[in-house]
Amino acid sequence: MSAAAASVLGGQGTVVATGGLLVLCMGLWATGLVAEIVTALMFFALAMLLKLAPAQTVFSGFASSAFWLVTGGMVVGLAMNRTGLGNRLARMLAARLPASYPGFIAGLVAFSFALAFVMPSNLGRIAVMVPVVIALCDAFGLEAGRPGRTGALLAFGVATPMLSAAILPANVPNLVMAGTAETLFDVHLSYLPYLFLHAPVLGFVKGALLVACTVLIFPDRLDGKRLDLPPLPPASVEERRLSVILAVMLALWLTDGWHGIPPAWIGLAAAVICLLPRVGVLPPASFNEIPLKTCFYVAALFGLTAIVNETGLGADLGHALLSVAPLEPGAPAKNFATLIGLSIGFLFTTTANGAPALYTALAEEFSRASGFDLMSVLMVQVVGYSTVFLPYQAPPIIMAMDLGRLSLADTTKLTLATGVVSLLVAAPLAYLWFRLTGRLA
């Protein structure tokens, strides 16, 4: 066998092995048969043992800014929890919630969206807020077993991952998308342009749709009963200090287009300040409470997509999809719908955390076929992976369901209804907004 033939066979073998590793890892992450940290470590081990790519490619996720934003976000979330600032914000909300059931649900959904600006961790927000929402339900007379209690808990649980897609650093899928785009294409996303593009539809419109679906599926009414929640003590020094840290962090995020510092390094700096002695709000030892398994999971996703791209498997998958996907230059509405469909298809097979990794790895192929520029192709997918149909597609929803002791049937009713309505109403509005803002030519 000639050296050239051996090289070709070797290259094909690498592509096949990469495809097998892709199916294995995505399958295990989607089904949860093995803990996600075990699958992540398995990826690193197999990729190196099989020599699928150089070490700098396999471990490129650890060099991604998104990896560090996830880490920093978890520290900030822990600070919100430990200082009691998250609970205080929720109590302040309770005093302003309307005395009607639709207003109560709308207030919880709006608070979920607002909290995502200052607490960039879906799981952290769920852990902090579900017990508070239960207390609010008790205060408003929505006892266990009433549909209004189920609706309130699910509205907050579903809003947390769904609406946070409109805020760049606020959830893992966004960071996976941003990190993969940075690793593969050297594309860097800015906080404010991203927010301006997605918040009107994915934040406000989808929030309104979620409220409507919740009220219709879990109808109830408030009885006029409102128990007094236990009074909170005056704000501690740590809470006031953390409030300043969060205000500065948010201000720097909003102005990143002016000063040029990526959101990741701003979030990481906020986390460091939270951990500094005398200046911060957490003892350094509290870093041990951070679930680093999630960080390793994100790094493994980035490394996997980098290998898929470097071995040529991404291009092969892209060509295969394009053979059946009706993408063609000069048909923006059809291309927009097709790209959303592709993003949702990945959502069913790899969950919301894995879907943007696969889609982004194929974005260059989609761009050439559709005639959209690369940034537009990347942004369209957010409309898709934020449209959740089943609870398993978004781990924060499963966590909210467990903490609130809610049934899978009730949870599925709301996610499926919200997903269908979002596809029929929010997706066309997103297309119009993309066109109006000049994102689509």
Confidence of residue 130 (pLDDT cuts 50, 70, 90): confident
pTM check: above 0.95 = no
Eight-state DSSP code of residue 236: P
Give all strands (DSSP E) within 21-118, no chain letters.
none
Q: What is the pLDDT of residue 158?
A: 96
Q: Tell me the pLDDT band of 228, cut-offs 50, 70 and 90.
A: low
The answer to whether 120 touches 71, Cβ cutoff 8 Å, is no
Tokens of residue 83, six digits: 């200082």
Dihedral sign computed on CA atoms, order 72, 74, 76, 78: negative
Quick one: pLDDT at residue 4? 39
Alpha-carbon distance of 323 to 315, in angstroms, equals 12
Contacts of 26 (CB under 8 A, 6+ apart): 349, 350, 354, 358
| Band (392; pLDDT cuts 50, 70, 90) | confident
pLDDT digits (tens, 9 = 90+) for 404-420: 888 888 999 999 999 99
User: In terms of pLDDT, which residue wins out, 335 or 93?
Assistant: 335
pLDDT > 60? residue 69: yes
Q: Quote the CA–CA distance of 12 and 33 in Å, as a whole number.
A: 29
Q: Can you read off the two tokens belonging to residue 197?
A: 């593009």
Tell me the mean pLDDT in the region 109-121.
Answer: 86
Question: pLDDT confidence of 441, banded at 50, 70, 90?
Answer: low
Is residue 89 over pLDDT 90? Answer: no
- How confident is the model at residue 1, as a pLDDT? 40
Most confident of 4-13, 117-126, 153-162: 153-162
C-alpha 75/C-alpha 272 separation (Å) is 8
**Contacts for 167 with CB less than 8 Å, ≥ 6 apart:** 116, 117, 120, 174, 194, 195, 199, 203
Nearest C-alpha neighbor of 183 from the set 264, 259, 74: 264
Higher model confidence: residue 285 or residue 342? 342
User: In this structure, which amino acid lies at residue 119?
Assistant: M
**CA-based nearest residue to 121, from 179, 79, 88:** 79
